[in-house]
Amino acid sequence: MPIDKEALREKYAEERAKRIRPDGNDQYIEFKGQLSHYLADPYTPFVEREPKRDHVTFAFIGGGFAGLVVGAKLKDAGISDVRIIEKGGDFGGTWYWNRYPGAQCDTASMIYMPLLEELGHVPTEKYAHGAEILEHSRNIGKKYGLYENALFHTEVTGLEWDESAHRWTVRTNRGDAFTAQFVGMGTGPLHVPKLPGIPGIESFKGHSFHTSRWDYAYTGGDANGAPMEKLADKRVAIIGTGATSVQCVPHLARTAMKLYVFQRTPSSVDVRDNEPIDPTWFRNIASPGWQERWYENFVGNQSPTPPDEDFVQDGWTEISRRIRSKVADLPREEMTPETVLAAFEDADFEKMEEIRARVDTIVEDRETAQNLKAWYRQLCKRPCFHDEYLQSFNNPNVELVDTGGKGVERITGKGLVVAGTEYEADCIIYASGFEVGTEYKRRAGFDMEGRGGVKLSQHWADGMRTKHGIHVHGFPNAFIVQPTQGANLISNIPHNIVDSAKTIAQVVTHARDVKADEVEVTKEAEEAWVELLLTGMGLIIGSQECTPGYYNNEGHAPGPAARLNVGYPSGAKAYFEYIEEWRQAGAYEGLEFR
Ligand code: NDP
């Protein structure tokens, strides 16, 4: 049957309108005061230590993939005193905190897990589970000697440039005040959990926790997938149906006496098709340089000129392939920006119709199936992939409580209220996500102070300004690791990290070789890079027409600063080619070594 595009557009707009709220990001509340216990680390005991007052060559904030990979590349370059400062009790970043049952990468492990080749690790599954990824993170820390100098359970509170000493002073919540010639920041985009500001949230008398602080002591089971047998006599309510909830609901469904899934907006849930990695197959493909070739192949598949073969074949390369083939069907003479966007929309309508049809083939109860269908374009929200989530709603103990786009109305001492009905629960699990739209300094917990005492928030008052997304004028010897203003490859963040780590290690090595105390991007080079970024098409996700969420500032118009949250105009593949040439040239165009 042909797709009625106009009817779908209307339906999408109607569903969006139900969800738009005047309070936008302010609907979420911080874990402060009475709620701060939610943030406690359930995984690692706190150990007292003396404050550090020494000096290191390189201090890196964040012990997730960014800190680990930068640390590894620096060690390879012969920088022996690298100190990683991490608020968690161990390395792993997002994989340290997110140990909820079923946690699993959504991008194929072969390209998601960094430094596989260097560690000689063969992922066990096409999409590895969290415990393996956390273990891999620890193994990177061990192999590169990054544990020796690391400060865990430590949060940076201040970072100040000391002009005369050409070094940074790093202050922390553990009383440390040490210096570093270079600093790096890789705090990740999703590390501050948020709670929905549901009236009465503090009055709940039962147990509750956020998915990023899973309480296995309460649920039983463990992060390796052991069943949560302590839930056998519990009524569990989970709030949220994003990527986290999609992965943990099947596990809760298996063991809880009763599971209520409170939904405001359904996720799009496509096929997962996970499978074990066959070591023989792996040996055949794993000739030296294999992971780099896979990175190139993946990013090539996201570009308009893909390689002949798709090595990765995951959900993301499938999305690109579909869009590309629709665009390729356009007769050459009809190829305009408008027809390309229309072809993109057609590919999207087809995909989303398939995803909605999949719900009907899996979910037995008609009303539940209808409520689980996502009415928006696939990239409006984080696409999900799972082969057990929708199936969970066929279990007699599982009940979807659809809130018609309005969210949970109220929380009482005994449970949750939706449309006037109270659902009693023993435990509430908040799968409510992480802060994204809030100010960077609130999320980071500090505001870096560069040359002349200028704060990073001041330098970026009108939007982020960098060269390559890494170097910032006025902040010498400092490096930022994140995808924006570089490749902006969001379907495989680790590739951005690995590439930035190469740049940083090479720049630091060069500074050492030429005996420079400082390296800094010039004002002109930063301006030129920003100008170049502004020649691009702008944001590819986060359209205002989308249903609200963190991709589009909860549906509110983005501030003027958002126009700079973009990547290299010619795309991720072109960026990686460009930066490789920039590194190879060895001229470090735009940087000044003094
Ligand atoms: P999300 O922000 O994606 O989801 C939060 C959920 O809470 C949404 O369903 C939201 O509904 C719901 N919610 C918020 N307020 C209320 C309310 N008042 N009443 C009812 N529901 C409410 O968080 P996640 O932790 O799921 O995921 C965050 C990100 O982390 C993902 O987008 C992804 O980038 C990453 N992630 C990656 C994984 C991987 O790669 N394997 C796995 C898990 C997460 P609404 O949609 O209406 O706002």
Query: Ligand 1: does its nearest atom lie under 6 Å from the Cβ of 198?
Result: yes
Residue nearest (by alpha carbon) to ligand 1 atom 3? 242
Residue nearest (by alpha carbon) to ligand 1 atom 43? 244
Intrachain domains 55-192+436-593 and 193-267+381-433 with the same fold? yes
Residue nearest (by alpha carbon) to ligand 1 atom 8? 240
Q: What would the 3-class secondary structure string for 69-113 be?
A: HHHHHHHHCCCCCEEEECCCCCCCCHHHHCCCCCCECCCCHHHHC
| Centroid of ligand 1 to alpha carbon of 212 (angstroms) | 12
CATH fit for domain 55-192+436-593, picks 3.30.420.40, 3.90.1720.10, 3.30.2350.10, 3.50.50.60: 3.50.50.60
Three-state DSSP at 407 gives: coil
The residue with tokens 């002073």 is: 169
CA distance 529 to 305: 25
Where are the domains positioned within the chain? Answer: 55-192+436-593, 193-267+381-433
| Centroid of ligand 1 to alpha carbon of 246 (angstroms) | 9
Per residue in 325-371, pLDDT (tens digit) is 888 889 889 888 889 889 999 999 999 999 999 999 999 999 999 99
Angle at CA of residue 523, ends 519 and 526, nearest 5°: 90
Q: How much is the pLDDT for 432?
A: 96
Fold topology of 193-267+381-433: FAD/NAD(P)-binding domain (3.50.50)
Three-state DSSP at 159 gives: strand
Q: How far is CA 389 from CA 161, 267, 516, in A?
A: 49, 11, 55
Q: How much is the pLDDT for 539?
A: 67
Residue nearest (by alpha carbon) to ligand 1 atom 25? 433
Q: How much is the pLDDT for 540?
A: 65
Residue nearest (by alpha carbon) to ligand 1 atom 28? 433
Q: How much is the pLDDT for 555?
A: 87
The residue with tokens 């549901």 is: 198
User: In which residue ranges of the chain is pLDDT below 50?
Assistant: none
| Centroid of ligand 1 to alpha carbon of 547 (angstroms) | 13
Three-state DSSP at 208 gives: strand
Strand 415-418 and strand 410-411: pairing? antiparallel
Q: How much is the pLDDT for 140?
A: 98
CA distance 114 to 93: 13
Query: Ligand 1: does its nearest atom lie under 6 Å from the Cβ of 431?
Result: yes
CA distance 335 to 333: 6
